[in-house]
Structure 1
Amino acid sequence: MGSTSNGDVLGQAFTDHVVQAMGPDTTPRMRTVMTALIQHVHDFAREVNLTTEEWLAGVAMLNWAGQMSNDKRNEGQLVCDVIGLESLVDDITYREASKADKPPTSSAILGPFWRADAPVRENGTTITFNTPKDAMVAYMHGQVTSAETGKPLANATVDVWQASTNGLYEQQDDDQIDCNLRGKFVTDAEGRYSFYCLRPTPYPIPFDGPAGKLLKLMDRHEYRPAHIHLIVESEGHRSLTTQIFDKDSKYLEDDSVFAVKDGLTVEFKPRKEDSKAEWDLEYNVALAKKQ
């Protein structure tokens, strides 16, 4: 199985033996994924001469991530974020759509703080409640269109969420009401949506778990640039998960989760004659058709 009489480490024959242990009912896709995973994991262990102590430390970190994860926090996903895996998978997933003659809006990672049960709110209303004194309120609005035809998409859903000025999403913070700074909006007949939100601010990702420990071990900071999360969906079109980043924010060049992309930075402009908001953001979204 790849071992030799002179004590050399288990080689390719051993890896082949592990791969070949998969049974006949393994699906083709599972066989492809697991064959590559086993090969790369074995090659990694051999390349770095991984010790038992180091392997156990890695297992403990995975266990820790699972123990910290719940409906308010996905620590395993955060670990993937700080090593760039979610951004890489996102890019692979949307690669073909981005090559179109009329490409859709760029995607970005989901992140660990999305909630499926965000409430539907009326256009022109707000997602910010018990607003902090240091907050800057913004009016965000735009149009959802088909990337291929340019036609507006009525009844599209714009699912939005963001952190408060203290860097916490509402499920992390007992001082915020349930579903603060999140909501779903349905576009009108012209594909338009609108709501009041906060002009976002940079914040640190949670640093008290394995993701934070990894950052510390790699001598990296934990900050994210100011951003707002979006999921935009319309019948007959591919769902878009993305983030938009304030162009004036710090950390655009060294986002701790590597999510910033060209085309996703936006400009907040002063808003006039609106007592509810001091900033204005227009953001239009183009969706790709389903293949």
Structure 2
Amino acid sequence: MRNVSPDTITQAFADYAAKAEDARTKEVLCSLAKHLHAFVKETQLTHAEWMAGLMALTRAGEITTPERNEFILFSDLFGVSALVDMVNTPKGATNCSNLGPFHQRGAPELADGGDLWKDQPGEPMVVTGRVLDAETGEGIAGATLDLWQNADNGLYAVQDAAQPAKNYHALLRCAPDGTFAFSTTRPKSYNVPYDGPAGDMLRALGRDAWRPAHLHVIAEAAGYRPLVTELFPEGDPYLDSDAVFGVREDLVVPLGTLANGETPTHLAARDRLPERVLHAPLLIRMARA
């Protein structure tokens, strides 16, 4: 099309895609082009601004590694990750929330009642809960939980060479009725990485880099949709200003305390816990596939 103009370029892009083999791919990419073109026209983007954006993406590629993905961080900080989570959460199920950049595959298996704390620094915490069918409220047999969190210094294992590999990561198989329990430490609030182009964006906008403390969970069970979510202990000062927009009301977990004798008897660390210990009760509702 030799007479392309600001008014016709979006349709030209769609016309060029006429031979696309997959209708959904065509729909998504044509919609993306439509909104990108509208953004350029609405903001009257300058050459310098356009080039600054390209250079930011170039830097993001240069610093991205298997342990840190700057593109995921951009998606998180723009609220895109959160919005994708929200529009894909089935009705009645626990809300999806950010996967984040620090998940490690191949987490070690942890028996129900197992110990992630291992006498490390931090405030010991007992987590108990149940994985439920979102429709019936019944426990889901065979559910597994991929768990990970940061240590007391606010760092995940992949960020901290002083921590053992896959520290505070575990794959836990729930009891036949969907219940589970384990010991850990209370996770800590932390700053998202802000030494790269995503951090430059935060500074340009005068935004905070803080995330409230949370426990990551991927819940899976045969016949159910996998659930990627985060659970946030109540009382954190950043619950209403999460840099990546990950908090939902149903993901905020009440924190209480239990006397040692009130903790589940199969907890491996029971004899080492203090007289009173923090307690986080979780309910995880999964939607059928």
Provide the TM-score with structure 2 as the length reference. 0.91
Corresponding residue to 1:173 among 149, 157, 160: 160
Offset, 1:136? 0.6
Question: Which blocks of at least 5 consecutive residues in structure 1 are unaligned?
Answer: 5-9
The secondary structure found in structure 1 opposite 2:116 is coil
Corresponding residue to 2:60 among 65, 75, 79: 65
- Note closer, same or farther for the CA distance 1:130–1:45 as it changes in structure 2 (3 Å cut): farther
Q: Is the 8 A contact 1:129 1:180 kept in 2?
A: no
Corresponding residue to 2:237 among 245, 250, 269: 250
Residue of structure 1 in register with 2:34 after alignment: 39
Q: Is the 8 A contact 2:154 2:187 kept in 1?
A: no
1:274-289 alignment runs, 5 A limit = 274=270, 275-276=272-273, 278-289=277-288
- Note closer, same or farther for the CA distance 1:251–1:187 as it changes in structure 2 (3 Å cut): same
- Note closer, same or farther for the CA distance 1:129–1:174 as it changes in structure 2 (3 Å cut): farther
Q: Is the 8 A contact 2:191 2:211 kept in 1?
A: yes
Residue of structure 2 in register with 1:126 after alignment: 115
Aligned partners of 1:26, 1:53: CA distance in 2, in Å? 36
Residue of structure 1 in register with 2:93 after alignment: 104
Aligned partners of 1:161, 1:256: CA distance in 2, in Å? 19
The secondary structure found in structure 1 opposite 2:56 is helix
Amino acid corresponding to residue 189 of structure 2 in structure 1: P
Offset, 1:59? 0.9
Offset, 1:172? 0.7
Aligned partners of 2:9, 2:139: CA distance in 1, in Å? 57
Offset, 1:33? 0.7
CA-to-partner distance for each residue in 1:207-238, whole Å, 9 max, x for gaps?
11122111111100100111111111111011
Aligned partners of 1:25, 1:48: CA distance in 2, in Å? 30
Aligned partners of 2:207, 2:20: CA distance in 1, in Å? 44
Q: Is the 8 A contact 1:2 1:12 kept in 2?
A: no
Residue of structure 2 in register with 1:164 after alignment: 151
Aligned partners of 1:81, 1:257: CA distance in 2, in Å? 5
My pick for the range that moved more, 106-115 or 16-25, is: 16-25
Aligned structure 1 segments of 4 or more residues deviating by more than 3 angstroms? 1-4
CA-to-partner distance for each residue in 1:125-144, whole Å, 9 max, x for gaps?
22234712xx1111111111
Corresponding residue to 1:235 among 216, 222, 229: 222
Q: Is the 8 A contact 1:153 1:190 kept in 2?
A: yes
Q: Is the 8 A contact 1:109 1:259 kept in 2?
A: yes
Aligned partners of 1:89, 1:147: CA distance in 2, in Å? 20
Aligned partners of 1:17, 1:282: CA distance in 2, in Å? 55
Amino acid corresponding to residue 226 of structure 2 in structure 1: S
Aligned partners of 2:167, 2:119: CA distance in 1, in Å? 8
Aligned partners of 2:211, 2:191: CA distance in 1, in Å? 6
Residue of structure 1 in register with 2:185 after alignment: 198
Q: Is residue 263 of structure 1 aligned with residue 250 of structure 2?
A: yes
Q: Is residue 84 of structure 1 aligned with residue 79 of structure 2?
A: yes
Question: Which blocks of at least 5 consecutive residues in structure 2 are unaligned?
Answer: 261-269
Residue of structure 2 in register with 1:7 after alignment: none
Residue of structure 1 in register with 2:175 after alignment: 188
Residue of structure 1 in register with 2:105 after alignment: 116
Residue of structure 2 in register with 1:28 after alignment: 23
Offset, 1:165? 2.1
The secondary structure found in structure 1 opposite 2:248 is coil
Residue of structure 2 in register with 1:209 after alignment: 196
Q: Is the 8 A contact 1:130 1:176 kept in 2?
A: no
Aligned partners of 2:241, 2:126: CA distance in 1, in Å? 27
CA-to-partner distance for each residue in 1:36-70, whole Å, 9 max, x for gaps?
11111111111111111111111111111122111
